[in-house]
């Protein structure tokens, strides 16, 4: 079966590689067939007679992805009216490429170019008049900051690159295109600073992109799953962000950014735990303020990961650890609850996840109503109906609320899922199992590598760096780039 | 192979896990344990005071008739096994993790077998080493049953506040089980337990006592809870031998570097008008220095220096101490003299009567010995302490007179 699939694919390719013939009629026939002219409504063809050499010619393009007035003004009008020696001299389009086979023609038309075929000429001219529809640049919606740039990436490669170049005025900032996908040729753009980036890592990323053997990689979000090492791991190894300022700060340190035309975000590789833990605002805020938010975030990390599990472990196995006042209060409130404590905790945690998932999908006009109902049911009514005890509401709310402090969606999921494992471990053997499970989790995390970079570097293993891990130093004292990337220039500030 | 391992792991969790898991509401929390002798040797009456979680909880409205505690008494051989006997009429598992105090009747404490029964408390991990030992004049059952706090209905709060405040003022010592075993096993020094009673028979009232010269039960009292904590029970080698009153307990704690005591208020007769008493606040900013010169053949010298500060609170005699250096000198000397007098009386009593010290001073002589054997051979109880030459000196670092610069002049007020 597999072999027959492969063969059928191969049998298609010869027609794609077909060279352009000198006969315009043949070429038109071929193109019409390739693009299903007539059925395909937005595939347009226009025949003209060129003024300067009095030959017949034909223009092909997708009318939906090109700029119509631009074609009229800069392609058709000059060809019809102006005299000159070659197409290059007549047409006033910034970018003209000569192609000689139909595969290139397909690729060009798909990426919003117009193809000019001339009778008696076996090269075609591809002219860039692309105008894909996209949103304007808007403010960030998921990674909010109070202090700092508000612009977010949008679904347009040019805008995105422009947003990055706006922050890094550097002629070594390279934007390299790599084609992926077999049926739909999409371009992934590798952005890096040439005189900083480590060639081995860059080569590693390139080869992973080239190894993607699939028909279509639609966007960055899909790409992320194609290039990561461990798809079954709970721990992410690629950073996803919608903030150009975050991306450029990583570029400056020698990281590599991946962009695509169809996503309003970028990927940053390689990553460490700290990339997920940090927020760009930590650096925009002054030294103490930034470190204060880091401390809060670290505490939230602990709370969301372990508070429910600790509560289960302590109250089910180590009641002597609870101060008597609290102990008696919990006991009193639990006397009429029919479920074991761990079931209570699971009910609340799952209910919270439920509100969260449903809240995300609720159509905007219904949002507030459903939110109130959900909060009422879970908070007040469940307690009054003796289904759960009030303290569980506090615990679940704490762990739920703190999970939002970890803004990165990947690490957020990691923590939310690990939480359930910890709760079950705590329910099985108390603190012993909780400690064991946490230790195993920690050891596993330390073993993770992202594009060859250990997950907890530069803390462990230790590397020369700006020592921006849990806390950061004052900006003036940050001298080095992270040396775990082995950048070409490790010093970013003279001492 | 991996799958098999996973299945085995699953079974391990299912079969071995949750073994000692117990829900909070399936347990009864004992706050106080009472120990009494019975007619039978080796069998004791244990009283458990169990907290009712629903009383005082804002989340759950308890029935108005529910008492804050359930008190049960059962006979048994030791503290833990008796809890299982008690389960024939207590509905939940009795847990001793949150015990605050252990109360032993004076009768039980004075018996030779006391160590046998209290020893089991150190073996079980359920009873913390920080549990305080209280000796009650009456039987422990009566004590627990009669003890009716008026404001702090919930027993753990009552004991917590009562003991910590009384301990700050120095009228009772801090008497943890840990210290009890430490001193008893150390085979030197005396252990001071808290002395308390709910028995207020009128004929025993000590109407002539002053602020701290009482033992529990003697303090004339109107209103309030019937329970009095005052003074300390002296234990020698795990057996109670005597009672110290509040004042003596304070002195013992002053001289003991291992015990913490807050500031306290006391009075002395006015040196110039002895029918009135001057009140002062005694506060000690640094621990006393204790110096022991050990001599093998002649009496050991123990030299203790206590530095303290005094703030005068009241001078009912209206004598102008504040303005007169000479009078201040007299006052200072009389405070020191009185403290030294009281201290020497206590030391004398301990040397002659108890033949050991309640100050944990054996700690400072241990460095003079090469090993435990030679230390034991020197014998603190029998040879060193009773014969030691002890010299306690008080130094007053600061004498203050509060915020009043001068006292009212009686002759000017009444002209």
| DSSP classification of residue A36 | T
Residue of B nearest to A383 (CA): B59
- B53: nearest CB among A328, A337, A341: A328
Q: Are residues B156 and B124 in the same domain?
A: yes
Two structure tokens written together for A468: 């921006």
A324 to B29: CB separation less than 8 angstroms, yes or no: yes
B29 to A333: CB separation less than 8 angstroms, yes or no: no
What is d(CA B4, CA B276) in angstroms, rounded to the nearest whole number?
89
Check pLDDT > 60 for residue A203: yes
* Cβ under 8 Å to B: A residues 403-442: 427-430, 433
Residue A429's Cα: distance from chain center in Å? 39
What is d(CA B51, CA B48) in angstroms, rounded to the nearest whole number?
10
Q: Are residues B75 and B188 in the same domain?
A: yes
pLDDT tens digits for B71-84? Answer: 999 999 988 899 99
The answer to whether position B257 is within a domain reads: no
Q: Residue A483: phi, psi to the nearest 5?
A: -80, -10
B13 to A315: CB separation less than 8 angstroms, yes or no: no
The answer to whether position B114 is within a domain reads: yes
Residue of A nearest to B23 (CA): A316
- Beta bridge partners, B35, equal B46, B104
Q: Are residues B271 and B410 in the same domain?
A: yes
Confidence of residue B49 (pLDDT cuts 50, 70, 90): very high
Q: Are residues B204 and B269 in the same domain?
A: no
- Beta bridge partners, B301, equal B293, B389
Check pLDDT > 80 for residue B28: yes
Share of chain B above pLDDT 90, in %: 46
Q: Determine the distance in angstroms separating the CA of B36 from the nearest CA of chain A, rounded to an integer.
A: 26
What is d(CA A310, CA A320) in angstroms, rounded to the nearest whole number?
14
Confidence of residue A367 (pLDDT cuts 50, 70, 90): confident
Q: Are residues B233 and B284 in the same domain?
A: no
A332 to B57: CB separation less than 8 angstroms, yes or no: yes
- Burial class of residue B107 (count of CB atoms within 10 Å of its CB; 0-12, 13-18, 19+): middle
Residues 6+ positions from A318 with CB-CB distance below 8 Å: A430, A431
- Beta bridge partners, B72, equal B48
Domain range for B403 is 263-415
pLDDT tens digits for A27-61? Answer: 898 888 888 888 988 899 989 988 888 889 999 99
* Cβ under 8 Å to B: A residues 300-329: 315-317, 319-320, 324-325, 327-329
Check pLDDT > 70 for residue A333: yes
Q: Please state the rounded mean pLDDT for residues B288-293.
A: 91
What is d(CA A193, CA A206) in angstroms, rounded to the nearest whole number?
15
pLDDT tens digits for A399-457? Answer: 988 998 888 899 999 999 999 999 999 998 899 999 999 999 999 999 999 999 999 98
What is d(CA B233, CA B252) in angstroms, rounded to the nearest whole number?
12
Question: What pLDDT is attached to residue A110?
Answer: 87
Q: Please state the rounded mean pLDDT for residues A343-350.
A: 92
Domain count, chain B: 2
- Beta bridge partners, A177, equal A189
What is d(CA B196, CA A362) in angstroms, rounded to the nearest whole number?
66
- Beta bridge partners, A453, equal A450
Q: Determine the distance in angstroms separating the CA of B128 from the nearest CA of chain A, rounded to an integer.
A: 10
The answer to whether position B8 is within a domain reads: no
Question: What pLDDT is attached to residue A8?
Answer: 46
Q: Please state the rounded mean pLDDT for residues A309-325.
A: 92
Check pLDDT > 70 for residue A14: no
Check pLDDT > 80 for residue A183: yes
Of the given ranges (A9-13, A134-138, B96-100), which has the lowest mean pLDDT?
A9-13
Q: Look at residue A115 and give its three-state secondary structure.
A: strand
A335 to B95: CB separation less than 8 angstroms, yes or no: no
- Burial class of residue A428 (count of CB atoms within 10 Å of its CB; 0-12, 13-18, 19+): buried
Q: Please state the rounded mean pLDDT for residues A5-27.
A: 66
Which of B17, B21, B50, B55 to probe by mutation at the A interface, max A CB count within 10 Å? B21
Hey, is the C-beta of A197 within 8 angstroms of any chain B C-beta? Answer: no
β-pairing verdict for B132-136 and B101-105: parallel
Residue A192's Cα: distance from chain center in Å? 16
Q: Among B157, B180, B170, B25, which residue's Cα sits nearest to residue B102?
A: B180
Q: Are residues B74 and B206 in the same domain?
A: yes
Which uninterrupted H or E stretch holds A180? strand A173-180
State in Å, rounded, how far the first CA of chain B is from the last one.
107
Question: What pLDDT is attached to residue A240?
Answer: 95
Hey, is the C-beta of A232 within 8 angstroms of any chain B C-beta? Answer: no
A319 to B18: CB separation less than 8 angstroms, yes or no: no
A121-143 in b/e form (b: 16+ CB < 10 A) is bebbbbbbbbebebeebeebeeb
Q: Determine the distance in angstroms separating the CA of A437 from the nearest CA of chain B, rounded to an integer.
A: 13
- Which positions in chain B touch A427 (Cβ < 8 Å)? 17-18, 21
Confidence of residue A11 (pLDDT cuts 50, 70, 90): very low
- Give residue for tokens 């063969």: A7
Hey, is the C-beta of B320 within 8 angstroms of any chain A C-beta? Answer: no
The answer to whether position B102 is within a domain reads: yes
What is d(CA B247, CA B171) in angstroms, rounded to the nearest whole number?
7
A333 to B59: CB separation less than 8 angstroms, yes or no: yes
* Cβ under 8 Å to A: B residues 239-268: none
pLDDT tens digits for B226-272? Answer: 899 999 999 999 999 999 988 899 999 999 988 888 888 888 888 88
Residue of A nearest to B13 (CA): A428
Residue of B nearest to A322 (CA): B98
pLDDT tens digits for B364-412? Answer: 988 889 998 898 888 888 888 999 999 999 999 988 888 877 777 777 7
Hey, is the C-beta of A379 within 8 angstroms of any chain B C-beta? Answer: no
pLDDT tens digits for A158-170? Answer: 899 999 999 999 9
Hey, is the C-beta of B18 within 8 angstroms of any chain A C-beta? Answer: yes
Q: Are residues B95 and B126 in the same domain?
A: yes
Question: What pLDDT is attached to residue A358?
Answer: 83
Q: Look at residue A441 and give its three-state secondary structure.
A: helix
Q: Are residues B137 and B198 in the same domain?
A: yes
Alpha helices in A430-476 (DSSP H): 431-447
B17 to A325: CB separation less than 8 angstroms, yes or no: no
Please check whether residue B211 is in contact with residue B171, taking contact to mean a CB–CB distance below 8 angstroms.
Answer: no
Question: What pLDDT is attached to residue A255?
Answer: 94
Which of B10, B30, B55, B60 to probe by mutation at the A interface, max A CB count within 10 Å? B60
Cα angle B127-B133-B136, degrees, rounded to a multiple of 5: 130
* Cβ under 8 Å to A: B residues 65-104: 95, 97-98
Q: Please state the rounded mean pLDDT for residues A336-346.
A: 91
B98 to A428: CB separation less than 8 angstroms, yes or no: no
Q: Among A236, A126, A319, A28, which residue's Cα sits nearest to residue B93?
A: A319
Question: What pLDDT is attached to residue A83?
Answer: 84
Q: Are residues B281 and B373 in the same domain?
A: yes
- Give residue for tokens 């039987």: B139
Hey, is the C-beta of B22 within 8 angstroms of any chain A C-beta? Answer: yes
B29 to A341: CB separation less than 8 angstroms, yes or no: no
Taking the CA atoms of chain A, what radius of gyration do you get in angstroms? 29
Please check whether residue B130 is in contact with residue B100, taking contact to mean a CB–CB distance below 8 angstroms.
Answer: no
- Which positions in chain A touch B157 (Cβ < 8 Å)? 325
Check pLDDT > 80 for residue B212: no
Hey, is the C-beta of B50 within 8 angstroms of any chain A C-beta? Answer: no
- Which positions in chain A touch B60 (Cβ < 8 Å)? 332-333, 335-336
Check pLDDT > 70 for residue A349: yes
Please check whether residue B101 is in contact with residue B132, taking contact to mean a CB–CB distance below 8 angstroms.
Answer: yes
Q: How many CA atoms lie within 13 A of B267 on its CB side?
A: 17
- Beta bridge partners, B312, equal B280
Residues 6+ positions from B134 with CB-CB distance below 8 Å: B101, B102, B103, B104, B175, B193, B194, B195, B196, B229
- B57: nearest CB among A329, A341, A429: A329
- A333: nearest CB among B22, B57, B97: B57
B24 to A390: CB separation less than 8 angstroms, yes or no: no
Q: What is the 3 state secondary structure string of A259-289?
A: EECCCCCEEEECCCHHHHHCCHHHHHCCHHH
Q: Are residues B179 and B211 in the same domain?
A: yes
Q: Are residues B241 and B303 in the same domain?
A: no
Check pLDDT > 80 for residue B205: no
Hey, is the C-beta of A69 within 8 angstroms of any chain B C-beta? Answer: no
The answer to whether position B144 is within a domain reads: yes
What is d(CA B76, CA B189) in angstroms, rounded to the nearest whole number?
31
Global ipTM: 0.86
Hey, is the C-beta of B17 within 8 angstroms of any chain A C-beta? Answer: yes
Q: What is the 3 state secondary structure string of chain B?
A: CHHHHHHHHHHHHHHHCCCCCCCHHHEEEEEEEEEEECCCCCCEEEEEEEECCCCCCCCCCCCCCCCCEEEEEEEECCHHHHHHHHCCCCCCEEECCCCCEEEEEHHHHHCCCHHHHHHHHHHCCCCCCCCEEEEECCCHHHHHHHCCCCCCCCHHHHHHHHHHHHHHCCCCCCCEHHHHHHHHHHCCCCEEEEEEECCCCHHHCCCCCCCCCCCCCCCCCCCCCCCEEEEEEEEECCEEEEEECHHHHHHHHHHCCCCCCCCEEEEEECCCCCCCEEEEEEECCCCCEEEEECCCCCCCEEEEEEEEEEEEEECCCCCCHHHCHHHHHHHHHHHHHHHHHHHHHHHHHHHHHHCCCCCCHHHHCHHHCCCHHHHHHHCHHHHHHHHCEEEEEEEEEEEECCCCCCCCCHHHHCC
Residues listed for chain A: 495
- Which positions in chain A touch B27 (Cβ < 8 Å)? 319, 331
B54 to A332: CB separation less than 8 angstroms, yes or no: yes
Check pLDDT > 80 for residue A17: no
| DSSP classification of residue A148 | S
What is d(CA B53, CA B160) in angstroms, rounded to the nearest whole number?
17
B25 to A334: CB separation less than 8 angstroms, yes or no: yes
The answer to whether position B270 is within a domain reads: yes
- Which positions in chain B touch A331 (Cβ < 8 Å)? 24-25, 27, 29, 53
Q: How many contacts (CB atoms, under 8 Å) link A and B? A: 79
Q: How many CB atoms lie within 10 A of CB B198?
A: 20
- Which positions in chain A touch B29 (Cβ < 8 Å)? 324, 327-328, 331
- Which positions in chain A touch B31 (Cβ < 8 Å)? 324
Q: Are residues B304 and B223 in the same domain?
A: no
């Amino acid at each position: 079966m597999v072999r027959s699939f492969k063969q059928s694919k191969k049998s298609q390719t010869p027609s794609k590689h077909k060279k352009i013939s000198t006969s315009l009629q043949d070429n038109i026939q071929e193109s019409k067939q390739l693009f299903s002219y007539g059925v395909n409504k937005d595939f347009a063809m226009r025949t003209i007679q060129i003024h300067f050499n009095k030959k017949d010619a034909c223009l092909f393009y997708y009318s939906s992805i090109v700029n119509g007035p631009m074609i009229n003004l800069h392609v058709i009008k000059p060809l019809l009216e102006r005299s000159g020696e070659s197409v290059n001299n007549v047409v006033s389009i910034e970018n003209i490429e000569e192609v000689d086979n139909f595969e290139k023609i397909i690729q060009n038309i798909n990426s919003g170019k117009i193809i000019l075929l001339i009778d008696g000429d076996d090269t075609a001219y591809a002219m860039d008049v692309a105008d894909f529809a996209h949103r304007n640049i808007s403010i960030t919606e998921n990674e909010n900051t109070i202090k700092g740039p508000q612009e977010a990436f949008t679904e347009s490669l040019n805008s995105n690159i422009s947003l990055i170049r706006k922050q890094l005025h550097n002629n070594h900032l390279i934007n390299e295109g790599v084609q992926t996908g077999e049926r739909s040729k999409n371009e992934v753009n590798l952005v890096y600073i040439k005189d900083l980036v480590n060639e081995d890592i860059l080569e590693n990323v390139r080869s992973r992109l080239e190894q993607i053997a699939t028909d279509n990689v639609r966007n960055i979000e899909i790409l992320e799953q194609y290039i990561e090492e461990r798809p079954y791991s709970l721990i992410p190894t690629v950073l996803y962000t919608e903030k150009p300022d975050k991306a450029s700060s990583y570029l400056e340190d020698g990281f590599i950014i991946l962009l695509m035309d169809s996503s309003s975000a970028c990927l940053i590789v390689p990553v460490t735990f700290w990339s997920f833990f940090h927020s760009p605002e930590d650096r925009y805020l002054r030294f103490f303020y930034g470190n204060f938010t880091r401390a809060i975030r670290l505490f939230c990390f602990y709370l969301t990961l372990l508070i429910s599990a600790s509560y289960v472990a302590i109250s089910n196995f180590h009641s002597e650890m609870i101060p008597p006042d609290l102990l008696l209060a919990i006991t009193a409130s639990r006397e009429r609850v029919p479920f074991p404590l761990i079931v209570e905790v699971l009910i609340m945690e799952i209910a919270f996840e439920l509100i969260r998932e449903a809240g995300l999908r609720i159509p905007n006009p219904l949002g507030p109503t459903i939110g109130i109902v959900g909060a009422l049911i879970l908070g007040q009514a469940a307690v009054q109906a003796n289904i759960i005890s009030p303290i569980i509401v506090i615990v679940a709310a704490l762990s739920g609320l703190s999970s939002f402090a970890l803004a990165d969606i990947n690490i957020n999921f990691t923590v939310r899922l690990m939480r359930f494992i910890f709760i079950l471990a705590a329910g099985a053997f108390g603190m012993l199992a909780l400690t064991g499970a946490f230790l195993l989790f920690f050891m596993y995390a330390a073993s993770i590598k992202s594009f060859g970079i250990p997950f907890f570097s530069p803390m462990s293993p230790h590397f020369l760096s700006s020592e921006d891990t849990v806390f950061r130093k004052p900006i003036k004292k940050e001298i080095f780039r992270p040396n775990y990337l082995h950048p070409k220039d490790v010093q970013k500030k003279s001492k | 192979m991996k799958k098999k391992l996973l299945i085995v792991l699953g079974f391990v969790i299912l079969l071995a896990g949750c073994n000692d898991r117990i829900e909070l509401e399936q347990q009864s929390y004992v706050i106080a344990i009472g120990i009494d002798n019975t007619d039978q040797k080796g069998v004791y009456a244990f009283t458990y005071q169990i907290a009712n979680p629903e009383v005082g909880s804002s989340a759950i409205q308890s029935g108005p008739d529910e008492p804050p505690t359930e008190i049960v008494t059962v006979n048994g051989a030791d503290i833990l096994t008796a809890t299982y006997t008690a389960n024939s009429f207590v509905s939940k598992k009795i847990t001793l993790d949150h015990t605050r105090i252990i109360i032993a009747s004076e009768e039980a404490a004075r018996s030779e077998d006391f160590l046998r029964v209290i020893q089991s408390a150190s073996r079980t991990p359920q009873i913390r080493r920080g549990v305080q030992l209280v000796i009650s004049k009456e039987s422990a059952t009566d004590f627990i049953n009669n003890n009716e706090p008026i404001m702090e209905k919930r027993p753990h709060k009552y004991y917590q506040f009562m003991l910590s405040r009384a301990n700050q003022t120095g009228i009772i010592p801090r008497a943890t089980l840990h210290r009890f075993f430490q001193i008893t096993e150390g085979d030197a020094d005396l252990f001071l337990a808290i002395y308390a009673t709910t028995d207020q028979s009128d004929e025993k009232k000590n109407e002539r006592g002053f602020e701290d010269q009482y033992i529990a039960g003697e303090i004339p009292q109107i209103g309030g809870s019937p329970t009095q904590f005052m003074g300390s029970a002296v234990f020698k080698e795990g057996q109670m031998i005597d009672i110290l009153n509040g004042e003596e307990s304070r002195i013992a704690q002053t001289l003991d570097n291992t015990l913490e005591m807050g500031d306290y208020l006391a009075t002395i007769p006015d040196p110039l008008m002895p029918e009135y008493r001057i009140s002062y606040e005694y506060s000690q900013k640094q621990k006393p220095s204790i110096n022991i010169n050990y001599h093998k053949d002649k009496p050991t010298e123990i030299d203790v220096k206590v530095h303290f500060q005094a703030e005068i609170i009241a001078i009912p005699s209206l004598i102008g101490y504040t303005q007169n250096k000479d009078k201040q000198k007299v006052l200072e000397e009389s405070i020191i003299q009185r403290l030294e007098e009281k201290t020497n009386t206590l030391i004398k009593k301990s040397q002659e009567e108890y033949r050991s010290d309640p100050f944990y001073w054996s700690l400072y002589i241990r460095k003079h010995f090469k090993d435990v054997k030679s230390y034991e051979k020197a014998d603190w109880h029998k040879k060193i302490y009773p014969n030691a030459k002890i010299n306690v000196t008080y130094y007053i670092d600061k004498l203050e007179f509060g915020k009043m610069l001068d006292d009212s002049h009686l002759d000017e007020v009444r002209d």
